[in-house]
Structure 1
């Protein structure tokens, strides 16, 4: 039997200064534009926020993938905010089944880390805690988010390029 890994990690070097990438990941409105969600409040450490899926505004193909989930709400708790270095939150991965109460499940931890590098900013996105997700949905949640974070890296990059214009 293949074990499901506990952690996803994706990295991308963005041709933008740390301060600009920081705004894109730490401002709830900007984050929502590229990620494809509308939040009911700002990102503040310790805050519990509800997001509703709204297809991304930066890539029509990804927006089509998000469209079936439009309007679905999910919970999001801001974990840490270390300006221009780290932003993290907790959520229930791939919590998309209608009528299922995910609130009793452990949340995974998503971390966005920024490092200044030659020519821009290295963005590292990691999500950990899959080993605590109930076995019956662990593999599906991991696979969905593994692919999802690959899409999200491309979306934040496109968003930043569009903002330059």
Structure 2
């Protein structure tokens, strides 16, 4: 029986002052996702089994690409994808690594607000020499990104 370590999974959540349908659009529409996430995904869509890729637009990270393979889409409930966490070193071929899995879930909250949860798991499969940094950076990153989507969806 395997146990999940305390550094295998990141979980974050936020209540967004917007109805579920608006939060879903911000999440499931690739161009909208890119707007709040900080990636140029113009002209792209999220479809199960499909790769979506575009340059990061955040200052200092322009050399990185947002690069995901969509796993599941359950309208207004769940969006999941696989990606390589914190792929900042241009000398590393991240395709040789096992990707982590990111799952967003939406839940109704009081007063027509939406509870959005994100969980990223699989850090135990990231190579040991970069595992803790990827875990730490993505932990901080998800906290910031949830604030970004909350601002975007409630605007």
TM-score by length of 1: 0.86
1:94 is aligned to 2:97: no
The equivalent position to 2:53 in structure 1, one of 50, 53, 65, is 50
Q: Distance in 2 between matches of 1:149 and 1:51?
A: 19
Q: Distance in 2 between matches of 1:75 and 1:28?
A: 12
Question: CA offset at residue 75 of structure 1?
Answer: 2.3
Aligned to 1:149: 142
Runs of 5+ consecutive residues of structure 2 not aligned to the other structure: none
Structure 2 residue matching 1:155: 3-state secondary structure? helix
By percentage of residues, which structure has more helix?
1
Aligned to 1:135: 128
Q: Distance in 1 between matches of 2:144 and 2:66?
A: 19
Runs of 5+ consecutive residues of structure 1 not aligned to the other structure: 56-66
Q: Distance in 1 between matches of 2:56 and 2:66?
A: 8
Residues 136 and 4 (structure 1 numbering): CA distance in 2 closer, same or farther, change over 3 Å?
A: farther
TM-score by length of 2: 0.91
Aligned to 1:20: 22
Question: CA offset at residue 4 of structure 1?
Answer: 5.4
Question: Are the aligned partners of 1:4 and 1:139 in contact in 2 as well (CA < 8 Å)?
Answer: no
Equivalent pairs counted in the alignment come to 149
Aligned to 1:70: 62
Question: Are the aligned partners of 1:4 and 1:138 in contact in 2 as well (CA < 8 Å)?
Answer: no
| Stretch of structure 1 that moved more, 20-29 or 36-45 | 36-45
Please give the root-mean-square deviation of Cα atoms over the aligned residues, in Å. Answer: 1.3
User: What do residues 87-129 of structure 1 show as CA deviations (whole Å, max 9, x unaligned)?
Assistant: 0110000011012100010000001100012121100011000
Question: CA offset at residue 74 of structure 1?
Answer: 4.0
1:108 is aligned to 2:108: no
Aligned to 1:62: none
